[in-house]
Amino acid sequence: MTKEDEVFKVREILKRRLALSSRLMRKLKDRGGVTVNGAGVKLNSKLKAGGLLAVRFPEEISGFEPEPIPISVIYEDDDLLIIDKQAGFVVHPTKGHPAHTVANGVMHHMLERGEAYRIRFINRLDMDTTGVLLVGKNSYSQHSFARQAARNAGKDSVNAEGDVEGNESAVEKKYLAVVNGAITEEEGAVNLPIGKEDEDRVKRAVLAGGHPATTRYRVLERFSGAYTLLELVIETGRTHQIRVHMAHIGHSVVGDALYGRSSPKLIERQALHAASLSFPHPRTGKTMKAEAPLPEDIERLLQRLRSH
């Protein structure tokens, strides 16, 4: 603690330094996770300069069954695990896919490293979408990204915790997709709400009253007037967002059987890849960029389109 910190209460210091929400602070305090010089402290206390204010997150572990599913690690530290997800695996167990998920593979990876943490997926990718997938190893890293997601969604108000959310965000998600048809403009944006027409179906649609969603796109390459390679940036993270938005404007993702048509002669899945994710590290604040190279099936698709 510094002399300047003496005018602030513990809760104010934690919010200023770590951007912790009121709820998370209370949770940590109740579990003995907020201390000064090793002793418990009240959140409303004021401290003297020279003291060591520490936050310790409780050890947690997920209960997924570990399975030796290949996990391609892009980056890993005490707070984050970033992997390059392969196609054909759902991220998290569901009724339809109770096992053989990315979560089962991460559990195996974690135990192999002798670690113990609760697996928290910061972003989600569809079963047949490849690319950068981010896992938080503690509640602080998850909370940090949740705040950024709220900012991306356009919130700028006092939330349920009494914390002010701004509307700027340093998180940027970039995707690459091959879509049907020739997009004539060099760049554009789709700013349309997404929702469910039928609660019993997985399919989403552009729907009045749905959740706000914005997808920006830029043309990288066109192929014989029949296909287009796009770079896409999503400013929100709705389920199937890119697939819904592109289908809505008449340019469904190649191979997307749910929102367009399957194209088995070209590719066995939707040609959609989470290429990069830029974000401030939750602990250091340093800007990081995780990248995943194009998978072989999309590379083959591009080579085939270029040859025609």
Which residue numbers are catalytic?
Answer: 126
Residue carrying structure tokens 């108000």 = 157
Q: What is the enclosing helix (H) or strand (E) of 74?
A: strand 73-76
User: How far is residue 85's CA from residue 66's CA, in Å, rounded to a whole number?
Assistant: 17
User: How far is residue 172's CA from residue 235's CA, in Å, rounded to a whole number?
Assistant: 8
Q: Between the CA of residue 262 and those of 125, 254, 298, 305, what are the distances in Å? A: 19, 7, 15, 16
| Tokens found for residue 19 | 């951007």
> How many C-beta neighbours within 10 Å does residue 76 have?
15
If we measure between CA atoms, which residue out of 179, 199, 185 comes closest to residue 248? 179
CB 261 within 8 A of CB 252: yes
Residue carrying structure tokens 């390679």 = 229
Q: What is the enclosing helix (H) or strand (E) of 223?
A: strand 214-223
